[in-house]
Amino acid sequence: MTELPTSGREWHLVARPNGWPEPGDVALREVPVNEPGEGRILVRNLYFSVDPYMRGRMNDVKSYTPPFQLDKPMDGAAVGEVIASRAEGFAVGDHVLHGLGWREYAEFPAQHAAKIDGSKAPLSSYIGVLGMTGLTAYAGLFDVASFKEGDAVFVSGAAGAVGSQVGQMARIKGASRVIGSAGSDEKVKLLVEEYGFDAAFNYKNGPVRDQLKEAAPDGIDVYFDNVGGEHLEAAISSLNVHGRATICGMIAQYNATEPTPAPRNLALVIGKRLRLQGMLVGDHAALQPQFVEDVAGWLASGELKYQETVVEGIENGFDAFLGVLRGENTGKMLVGLAGK
């Protein structure tokens, strides 16, 4: 039997950020690793996810998910390999999906793990295109936004993990036009040439409202919002009568220290009879079987493509998280620990 580790590193939140998180707000600490108790497993993490929503969990405010606790490890989606088990149905060598990221090793009740098959898809994809990220895109487009064939769709943050999937899913299902915004000319090129968007623009190159109207002269029917702020205001202006918007994220204001202004054109919601609806992926678990079936098929056929940005080394985990907030990732941002 391979000797088990006696310690491992994990990221702790040590202070509540004011505005942008800073290195002094977190600490990478060495902690003891325990052998699993009855009904529990010990997992060596291979990848963990860093996501924009985690910024909100650093604040001590009531929200849809509990805040990170001070001087405790942060958490989030992770995949890893079972290295010790005292739980029926889990053996050493099994790969699992679980919720204790931001650390090298996790010891927890086996009931909180789901076995995954690395022969069917890359392990990292289970926290990306086949995981919560993909389900967010799928549910947000088809369920929340009530997408139908022929709709014109605009996606903000379209080169990110969720946005890139939304645009491709809309294209696959017969959108009349798919438009995306991104933060660099390279990402704009990726959206059009690799992901099949009909048009895309760099939001840094001019007012979003003007660039969106040029890209969608006949307006849009669906807006998938990952950004908020100026993007949401521009989308409200371009949405056609009975248009729908899925409000998935508002990364533009996550680090604001003062209240941000609402879109100045909210009155258009009345005359256009718009529907703006927030979403949390946890409300859509019932879609999971259909989601996996559809997405697995699209991946196999090559209709759906995805990219990942993998930052290697747990010591670089916090920098990877800041990179997500800055939009430095293309596709899903992951921290890789497989080289340990």
**Complete DSSP assignment for 70-119:** BTEE--B-EEEEEEEE-STT--TT-EEEESB-SBSEEEEEGGG-EEE-TT
* Closest to 208 measured CA to CA, from 265, 156, 260: 156
Q: Are residues 163 and 118 in the same domain?
A: no
Q: Are residues 138 and 109 in the same domain?
A: no
User: Does 295 reside within a domain?
Assistant: no
User: Does 222 reside within a domain?
Assistant: yes
Measured N-to-C along each axis, helices 208-215 and 229-238 cross at an angle, to the nearest 10 degrees, of 40
For residues 64 and 275, give the distance between their C-alpha atoms in angstroms, rounded to a whole number: 21
Q: Are residues 162 and 270 in the same domain?
A: yes
DSSP 128: T
User: Strand, coil or helix: what is 248?
Assistant: coil
How many domains are there within the chain?
2
Q: Are residues 23 and 145 in the same domain?
A: no
Find the mean pLDDT for residues 41-58.
96
User: Does 288 reside within a domain?
Assistant: no
Proportion of the chain above pLDDT 70, given as a percent: 98
CB atoms within 10 A of CB 19: 10
Q: Are residues 15 and 46 in the same domain?
A: yes
Instruction: Measure the CA dihedral 248/251/256/260, to 10°.
Output: -50
In this structure, are strands 40-49 and 332-336 parallel, antiparallel, or unpaired? antiparallel
Q: Are residues 35 and 100 in the same domain?
A: yes
Q: Are residues 69 and 210 in the same domain?
A: no
Quick one: pLDDT band at residue 3, thresholds 50, 70, 90? confident
> For residue 326, what pLDDT is reported?
92
> For residue 138, what pLDDT is reported?
98
Alpha helices by DSSP H, the chain: 53-57, 132-138, 161-172, 185-193, 208-215, 229-238, 268-272, 288-301, 317-326
CB atoms within 10 A of CB 80: 28
CATH of the domain at 227: 3.40.50.720
For residues 270 and 113, give the distance between their C-alpha atoms in angstroms, rounded to a whole number: 46
User: Does 2 reside within a domain?
Assistant: no
Q: Are residues 33 and 103 in the same domain?
A: yes
Q: Are residues 244 and 279 in the same domain?
A: yes
Q: Are residues 278 and 136 in the same domain?
A: yes
User: For 175-207, what is each residue's pLDDT tens digit?
Assistant: 999 999 999 999 999 999 999 999 999 999 999
User: Does 293 reside within a domain?
Assistant: no
CATH of the domain at 124: 3.90.180.10
Tokens encoding 156:
């903000």
User: Does 32 reside within a domain?
Assistant: yes
Q: Are residues 162 and 28 in the same domain?
A: no
Q: Are residues 109 and 34 in the same domain?
A: yes
Q: Which domain holds residue 178?
A: 132-283
| Average pLDDT for the chain | 94
> For residue 159, what pLDDT is reported?
93
User: For 98-143, what is each residue's pLDDT tens digit?
Assistant: 999 999 999 999 999 999 988 888 999 999 999 999 999 999 999 9
Tokens encoding 149:
């064939």
User: Does 291 reside within a domain?
Assistant: no
pLDDT above 60 (res 35): yes
Helix or strand holding residue 143 (H, E)? none
Q: What pTM, to 2 d.p., does this model score?
A: 0.85
User: Does 299 reside within a domain?
Assistant: no
